[in-house]
Homo-oligomer: A and B are copies of this chain.
Amino acid sequence: MQAAYRPIRVALLGAGSVGSQVARLLIENADELASRVGTQLELTGVAVRNLDSKRDSDIPKELLTTDAEGLILSSDIVIELIGGIEPAKTWVKLALSSGSDVITANKALVAAHGPELFDLAEQLGAQLYFEAAVAGAIPIIRPLRESLAGDRVDRVMGIVNGTTNFILDRMESTGADFDDALAEAQELGYAEADPTADIEGFDAASKAAILASLAFHSEVPVEKVYREGITKVTALTIETAREAGYAVKLLAICERIQTESGEGLVARVHPTLIPLEHPLAAVRGAYNAVFVEAESAGQLMFYGAGAGGAETASAILGDLVSAAKRHVAGGPGLADSVHANLEVLPIQSITTRFQITLQVRDLPGVLASIASVFAKHEVSVETVSQSAANAKTSAILTVMTHAASEADLESVVSELESNSAVQNINSVIRVEGI
């Protein structure tokens, strides 16, 4: 044990599933945490909206308070677990302004207002920790901030939303269509009554913005993250993919892009085909995983639970021990530099492979007509396979391209839409991990 140091006062904002677990661990493991930190961590209070709400936790009643501001101002470290932008943002700013360190699991807040909050923290010598904001229990923020600090990250591809991974996994394993898999996820508590934030990719986009800003030391506004949800993925999409040797995953992809004027970055969230033998394809159920490609380290993957009260609490406690040790001993903390300042480019800047599925008229010369559209826009086709559609006069074409620019592919799709032989463009899916 180190020399005596006064207890560190810890305030908790929110007593939901994560907050309850954090409170429990702080109380049950007080001695163990004290020996890891070098002094006691004292839970001084838990701010809640309503003292009388029913809770599934054993937080001692005397710790509950509705006076969040008073609690914040009398603490050394504030753990923000209320989520959403307000009042979380106001309270985090109040805490940082009063010199407290802040630990948050709030990806929406970090993605939308990270730069403002980090600036404020830096001016005041306080720290903002957010390991729990991306991929729950998986330590990914710390490796990006520290372990890879001497390397150059080229690409991050993550399954960062457990709800959509669960839905896609169920669709794949049972053949269910999207609506049924969503209903099952809702019954099991993996999806909310209003699932928009998950299935439309908003949650994953927040995490993509955070991952991209850390990986590339640049400011990445969440509005500049390209976003496409999974609502258009059908059982047929998944079956077709599987037959061709691919899994369909909602990926958050952040990559460094070489441009004529230098370097930029693209962050994007969309359903993606990845080869079945890729490590990300084996991530089942509601699990999360983040795959990182760095210049020297090569390929790394971090895998674990992406949500859950206890799991997220583990990440919060890890940050808490770091913050508390820094209170005891001082030190550099985790300033998030945006020194590289890469420009966030639109998705048209990327180069990738595409699978396009088309319903076409089953007439002689159609294939040649379609192929010429790809050729005209310099998109090279690797394979075309044809299968019969329902109507006798239609066929389904599945086209896999070689690497092509998104911009060129958009031109192809636009021209296919007006091609008289094309009855419908069933899907256009990017292919990664080859």
- Min CB distance A319 to B, Å, is 8
Q: B297 and A300: CB pair below 8 A? A: no
**A150 vs B131: C-alpha distance in the bound complex, in angstroms?**
13
- CB pair B36–A149 under 8 Å, yes or no, is yes
Interface with B: A56-64, A310-318, A404-412, which one?
A: A310-318
> Are B294 and A314 in contact, with the CB atoms below 8 A?
yes
Inter-chain contact A139/B147, CB cutoff 8 Å: yes
Q: Is A315 within 8 A of B329, CB to CB? A: no
Q: Does A33 contact B (CB under 8 A)?
A: yes
- Is A245 on the interface with B (CB-CB < 8 A)? no
Cβ contact within 8 Å between A150 and B25: yes
Within 8 A of B (CB), among A297-336: 297-305, 308, 310-311, 313-322, 325-326, 328-333
- Cβ 8 A contact of A315, one of B1, B21, B297, B330: B297
Q: Which of B152, B279, B304 contacts A298 (CB 8 A)?
A: B304
B148, A322: Cβ atoms under 8 Å? no
Give the Cβ gap from A205 to chain B, nearest Cβ, in Å.
24
A51 close to chain B: CB less than 8 A: no
Question: Inside 8 A of A304's CB, which chain B residues have their CB?
Answer: 297-301
Closest CB of chain B to A61's CB: distance in Å?
24
Report A107-159 residues with CB < 8 Å from chain B CB: 131, 137-139, 142-143, 146-152
Within A262-307, which residues are at the interface with B (CB < 8 Å)?
279, 282, 294-305
A339, CB-defined interface residue at 8 Å? yes
* Chain B neighbourhood of A146, CB < 8 A: 139, 142, 318, 321-322
- The answer to whether B148 touches A139, judged by C-beta atoms less than 8 angstroms apart, is yes
Q: Is the CB of A303 within 8 A of B305?
A: no
- If A139-B143, A139-B147 touch, whether A328 touches B332 (CB-CB below 8 Å) is yes
CB nearest neighbor in B for A303: B301
Contact of A318 with B147 in the complex, beta carbons under 8 Å: yes
Distance of A301 from chain B, by nearest CB (Å): 4
Which residues of B sit under 8 angstroms from A372, Cβ to Cβ? Answer: none
Write 14 A-B pairs (CB below 8 A) sorted by A numbering. A137-B298, A139-B148, A142-B143, A142-B146, A146-B318, A146-B322, A147-B318, A149-B321, A294-B314, A296-B311, A297-B311, A297-B315, A300-B305, A302-B302
Contacts A137-B298, A296-B310 aside, 6 further interface pairs with beta carbons under 8 A come to: A131-B147, A137-B300, A147-B315, A150-B319, A150-B320, A297-B310
Chain A residues engaging chain B, CB cutoff 8 angstroms: 1, 21, 25, 29, 32-33, 35-36, 131, 137-139, 142-143, 146-152, 217, 279, 282, 294-305, 308, 310-311, 313-322, 325-326, 328-333, 337, 339
Nearest 3 pairs of A and B residues by beta carbon: A331-B331, A150-B317, A329-B332
